[in-house]
Amino acid sequence: MKTVISRRRLIAGGIGITVGAPLIAQDNVIDRMMKATPPQQLGPFYPVARPLDQDADLTRLDGHTESAEGPRMDLFGIVRDFDGTPVPGATLDLWQANVHGRYLHGGDDREDLPLDPHFQGSAKVTTDADGRYRIRTIIPGIYGVGDLVRPRHIHFTIDGKQSRLTTQMYFPGEKENANEDIADDSMLVAKRAPALDEAITAFNWDVVLPFG
């Protein structure tokens, strides 16, 4: 079953429109939102305290000789507006669990799961002149508490010039995606891509904002 996003959820959910957005009819706004990358909840572990190192490589921290645990992955894509125009200068704020499924957050008190002192856990990157971004990280572990088992995912808040989108990116072919009715053809699911290094899995995930 595919994820269904209602109009009410879009208006009250994770897509925001900034003051600079053009004044257009409400039905047009809703139509743009319905065709944009769907919003998802912020989640409980937004990183209010972060390592000073917030660059595009989450697998290494400045001053550390060791790198993060877990299988490496490269993630790249383009941020576009509703009309397909790339959005340069968009900011992607992302955060995720480590390979054990634990977040670098004081509220994640699952002490049976280890922290990884060499994993950055979050990053802020900006799209280039062609709207492109690229990060290197690790494939996150499955997040679970009690009977709740979530699919592997990475959280994003994406700020364009006229839109803010809070969402989550999922991985293709994961059986846990069915727990949240996320189909592989959803705009929330990344696609496998050719890798530059055979030891690193590559994924492509493009983002569509309702405005630029």
At 129, is the secondary structure helix, strand, or coil? coil
Specify the 3-state DSSP secondary structure of 192: strand
Higher pLDDT residue, 123 or 24?
123
Q: What confidence tier does 164 reach under pLDDT thresholds 50, 70, 90?
A: very high
**pLDDT value of residue 19:** 42
* 18 to 67, 98, 166, 211: CA distances (angstroms): 38, 33, 14, 9
Rounded to whole angstroms, how far apart are CA atoms 146 and 29?
Answer: 39
Cα 31 to Cα 67: distance, rounded to the nearest angstrom: 44
Give the least confident one: 2-16, 133-147, 156-170.
Answer: 2-16
pLDDT one-digit tens code per residue, 52-88: 999 999 999 999 999 999 999 999 999 999 899 999 9
Overall average pLDDT of the 124-147 stretch: 95
What structural domains does the chain harbor?
Answer: 7-208 (2.60.130.10)
Nearest in space to 56 (alpha carbons), one of 125, 7, 152, 110: 125
Q: What would you measure as the largest C-alpha separation in the chain, in angstroms?
A: 55
pTM: 0.87
H or E stretch at 138:
strand 132-138
Q: For residue 3, what pLDDT is reported?
A: 44
